[in-house]
Amino acid sequence: MSMAKTGTCVGALTIAATAVLYIPGAAAQEPKQSERAPDDKPSSIAGTWNAEARHVVMGSLFQQVHGTRLRNSFVHLKQDGDRLTGYVLAPEDKDERWKSDRTDFRSVKFAKGQLVFEFDIDELNHGWREQTKSKGWIRVEAELKGDRLIGKWGMFEMKSGEELFRGEWEAVRAKEPEKVRVRCGLERLGKREVGELRLGK
């Protein structure tokens, strides 16, 4: 075999080997389903969520045993075009100064599986003996994991932007009410019509 033919064979084998080796490498770099970017569409997070906020309850900062206070609420997120709006209902926390248990969010954002919503509060008591009164706002940040939102909340002073308090926040997607089929039959008896109503799945 001549040198020209030998070089041609070796070159062809090298190209073929490179092509064969490249295919498994490309497949290995294909992201797994769990590693792919989550759906950022508003529809993927819109709906009703059963939420729970948690924060530490302290009799004294220096005591050896601490507890956690829970606050339950219902978060409603709605798709409005290409953006999200929302509000929360907290029927357990109504008082004389807050007769309505609804609070509307001033901003709702959802990107890369991260939900962030904020709302204003009219009065924030803090500082020495709680003598400082100011306005504030609360931010909730949570990551979407299946049908769960897991994250935290922070309370900020409006003027300085300083975070004064924080805690844990979690929510689960509320189950839709089960649909029920209704069957109704009527039977004429003399001048009256009687019926039977049956409920079934």
> What residue ranges in 91-180 does DSSP mark as E strands?
102-104, 107-111, 114-126, 132-145, 148-157, 163-173
The 10 Å Cβ neighbour count of residue 173 is 15
The 10 Å Cβ neighbour count of residue 53 is 20
Q: For residue 175, which phi and psi values (nearest 5 degrees)?
A: -75, 140
Clarify whether residues 24 and 72 are in a common domain.
no
Domain assignment of residue 156, yes or no: yes
Residue 128 sits in a domain of what CATH number? 2.40.128.120
| Rounded-to-integer distance, Cα 91 and Cα 182, Å | 32
Clarify whether residues 52 and 107 are in a common domain.
yes
Tokens read off for 8: 């041609």
Per-residue pLDDT reduced to its tens digit, 32-84? 544 445 567 888 899 999 999 998 877 777 888 877 888 899 999 999 988 99
Nearest to 93 by CA among 121, 61, 59, 56: 121
Clarify whether residues 74 and 99 are in a common domain.
yes
Sole residue written with tokens 């064969």: 20
Per-residue pLDDT reduced to its tens digit, 80-128? 988 999 999 988 776 666 667 899 999 999 999 999 999 999 888 887 8
Clarify whether residues 89 and 133 are in a common domain.
yes
Tokens read off for 134: 């100011």
Q: Which domain holds residue 145?
A: 42-173
Clarify whether residues 149 and 60 are in a common domain.
yes
Residue type, 69: R
Number of domains making up the chain: 2
This prediction's pTM = 0.67
